[in-house]
Structure formats: structure tokens, C-alpha cells
A and B are shown apart, each in its own frame.
Chain A
């Protein structure tokens, strides 16, 4: 279909209009870095951001949420599910993060649908943004096939200079564009500029893996006893930063709290990390993944093999956040290349 054109000066007006009906979560500056946070003023939104500290996942699986309230006033405790969802627009997600949402969607839908995530997802519009430059030297989206996206968004923007082309991905996206934005039809000149911009972007991104990422599952299948895990185990501080910033990590803990009056209890879900010592420890004392080396291996196997095999979509989107966040410079690209080099 013909694309729509959103002039750049219209973006703040569009964000303002969306804010009337939605929580708009977009990239904004935090010190020298960027974060996805609710936008309170359209001028905060920074579509020129490189990468955010935390992925837009925060809007769908918040770091902490209440999942149930239990009223303890009567003889029988009365549970009440809490679905903390509100109409939300994720504005300006890069395509790596869009690919990550597909993994989360599948994980939270499989077998036992998770109504908390899924209700938020149902109420969320995703407006994504084509990347024209690598975020920095740690991006390896080109290797992971996430440098662009042809699904997973409601609207997709590409910067063609003084305007964005808007590709409509869904009916909901089309309705939102109609209602909240002033756009015009793309002209032949717009299409020419779009093609120019898109062909210019690919050479700017380099391959950083020394092999085809499709080989990752079979490569890892031969690497379970690779010496690199022991080496990573020696370096890793088990801080959990890598999993906290990962757009495809969704493991969680459940906490049961009670009010001071003892009249109400809450069940709270919080992000958890397979890198923490107690993650697999049972009350009897046994820790089923006690060695840091085993926990590091677990993370890389999930990212490179197990998530892909279970959900048929990449478990790592090449955003490079875990590399930037690691305090001891554990680098997923180097890990995979090392394994490939010794295979």
C-alpha cells in the first residue's frame, strides 16, 4: 500500500493527541543515556536516541506489578486478580525491540495464557522506528536478523529527512493514525527518498558474528562442556544486570506481602534473574544451578538455542544491552564467536 507521510513538526502534536487517550511510553534522555518512560511532555520524546537502558518491555512486563489482592477480613480469604493494564502507546521502539516483543508474546501465550501481560499487550499500540545507524559498536542486530521488521508493529516510522514515512501494520494502527496524526499521502519523491535512505542504511551496519546466527542452536549443542563457561563463571559477579536489561528475558519471582493491619495480602510479581545464586535453590537447601559457570551457560543457551527452539523466534535480538550493562565486560558476541572458533 501507499505510505503516509508524517512531517516531523507534526510528531509533537501527534504525541500530545495520543497522550489524551493513552499512556505514551517513549525514549527520553536520562543523563547521557536514554530510557523508555511515560512521556509527560511531547518535547521529551527523543526519536534520535541510540539505545535505551531498559527495553520497552517495561511497558508490558513492568519490573514489579501486583497480580492479586487477597482480602483477609472474612473467615475465608477472598482472592481478587489484579490486571494492571491501561491503554498504552509504545512510541519509537527500534526493530530489535519489536522482534523481542514477538518472543514475549509467545512465551506469555503458550499453554497457560498470562492475562496480566496479554491484557496490557491487547491495550498497547506499538509505533516502531526504522534504525538508520547502528546504536553503537555493540549492536549486532544485522547478525540476528532484527535490523528491520515487517510485522509486530501497528505503525512503523522511517526518517526520510524532514518527515517520517509511516507504514501501517494493523487496522488499529490505521485508526490511530487517522485519529491522532495529520499526515499526507506519499509522493513519488517521498518514495524515492525512502528507497535512498533504506539502501544507504545497510552498509552502515556490519556483521559482528563470524557465522550465520541460524547456526547458533546447532553450534551450542556441541558446546555444553566448552571451557568458556568456567572462564565466564570466574568473571561473572552474578549481579543480574545482563538479564535486567535484556528485551527477551521474562523470568520472574512472586512475592506475597501483607498489610500492617493484616486485612489484606498482595501477590506481587517482580523481575528475577537466572544469574542470581538463589534462583534455582529449593527450601531444602539443594541448589540445582549453584555454579556461576552453569548459570552463565544457562543464559547463553536460552538466548542462542532454547528460546528459539521452544518459541520458533530468535531468543536474542542483537541489541547489545547485556554487553553495555556487564560490569566485567562479558560480551555475548565474543562468547558466540569463541565457541564458533573452537568448533
Chain B
């Protein structure tokens, strides 16, 4: 054993304080010791934060008293009494503020889901076009991205709303596709199916069918991985599944009636309706999001070693094949984290639709309801809570997915 020439560090322990020290010196000694300093600092910060919170809430209760306002969530079951121009779940003005909150949430989620799906598709295509060998194509993709992402989203939303969607013809002269689809400055009217059954049955059937198909593939997978062909049981199952699908479509169509939009007075009735504000918000946000995603995709694709592409080319893959089989699966790893952020941003950006009066959460709850009830604190906390919940949820799910895609490094 090698004898260390370094003397052992002195044993740690609470040193007794020299009684001859003055009060000030004792305090400074406290600040010069790492452990005690940490405690003191944290205590100071915690005290400051708690005092700040106490100060704020004391002020709030004073101000509320002074203004004759009350705090509490008792306004939620009260009748809202205002109309909402578009809602996916049934709503009329005799329903409560709770319902308004949920209408806002559903509209926000629908808008952001549409933007995320279409924006990701377009963005991926544009991002790949930017890497095209054809200079005309790649430059056009580049300038699309540059122009779109350097102009504020709010300007784009208002531009699409006032310049494009509001200048469409009036309902009487609307653009139409046969008698099925009408586009005018109020929005888009589409022929829809109306069912006497509740939507629950519909979702149940579709869910059961999807689950059965998934189960079938899952069940036949071991045989497929061993032999490379599907077993005959799989095909029998597939035929049975097809029969069940046809039967359920027939079953559903029994209770369905077509609802065709028809002009009555100045407006259409019947059919499904998408307001112009939805169209403008959707188009503007999709374009904006696609530019952001195109940049993400391009960066991800460029992060792959060029040798990969050359190797794929050497073994005779076409451009599409090498993209699909070699490049994209590898690029996904570096694309997913920024893509997550982009999707989160899309959800948050959907709040900008308030500027053109699309009835999403901020518009119906934070503006109209807050003006009517005056419950600023409660409403703002509810809205923020919703956004925080959604953000945490999306980032949690995508982190899970991200973990499963990344290289396993041990």
C-alpha cells in the first residue's frame, strides 16, 4: 500500500464558535461556510417569495373588497346568455359558463389539431424540396420559408381573414360544387350526414373495428416474422373483419340522413358549417407552421452523413426509396425534439385566432365571459391551467415516443 503524503482532511463537524467573536463576525462566519450559507440563502429567497405572494394576495383581497367583487367559482353553473358562432359540441345561449369553457377548449383543440396535421405534412414536403437538386425548386421552397417565417403570424391571420376570406362572394353568389358544397364570405357549407343514433355508437363501432384490425396484425406477427408470409388464419380473419366492416357501415347508414345546405333568406341552413374565421386562422397558421417545420426537417436531414445517401444510391435505391428507407428513419431522431416544440407552439398560437373573432378559448372565455362576469382571477387561472395541462401532456407523450426512437446508448 502506498502511503499518501497528503494529510487527511479534518473531520467535518460542527465547530464550536469562538465566544470571543462579535455578533457581526459570527454572522459573516455563517456566510463563509458552504452549508450554512446555502441554508441562509434559501431561507432568504423563500421568505422573499412567500412575502411577495402574501403581499399580492393581501392586495387582491383589499382591491376586491373595495371594488365590491367576490372570488369564487360559483359563476360557472350560471347561464352564460351569449351566442357562440361555431361550436362542435351542442351549445346555445341558455347553457352555463362551464359549457362555454368546454366549447372554447374543443374549438381550440380542433383548430390546433388541424394545423398540426396539415402543417406537418406540408412542412415535411417543403423541407425535403429545399434539399432538391433542382435549384429552381429548392430556391422557391427557401423563399417560401423565408417570407412566411419573417412576417408575424398575427399579420398573416388578419391578412387571410380580411383580404381573402372576407372578400369571397356573398351567400347568394357563393362558389359552389354542385349542390353539395358552398363557399362564401361567411364560411364553408358542406353536405353532412346526420344520424338519429348518438355519436357514442359511431365511435364505439369505429374503435372496435380498429382494435380488431390491430389485434389481427399483432396475432399474426410472430408467424410473419418467422416465415415472411402471412398465415391462412390471417386471411380468414381479414375476410371476417371486412364483412364486419361492411355490416357496420350498412348498420350505421340505416340511421343516417343526408343534410344538404339550402339557401333560405340570406343564409344557408342544414349541412355542416365552417366559419370564415376558422378558414383564415387555419390557413394562416398552417402556412406559418409548415415553414417552421420545413426548417426543422431540413436541419434534421442535413444532419445525416452524406455517406448514407451515397451508400443508398450505390446499392441502387431511387431518390424516393433512399428517402423513405434510409434518410427519414435516421432524420426522425434529430427532428422529433424540435418538432415537439413546434407542435406545442402551434397549440399556443391557436390563441391568436382571437384577433379575427374565431370562438376559441381565449375569445369566448377570457374576453366575452370575463367581460360579463368580471371574475378575472378565476378565468385567467382556468385558461392558463388548460394551456399548461396541454403543454405538459404533449411534451410528456412526445418525450415517451422520443425515448423509444432514440439510439439506445448504455
Answer yes or no: are A and B bound together in one complex. Answer: no
**B interface residues with partner A (beta carbon < 8 Å):** none
**A interface residues with partner B (beta carbon < 8 Å):** none
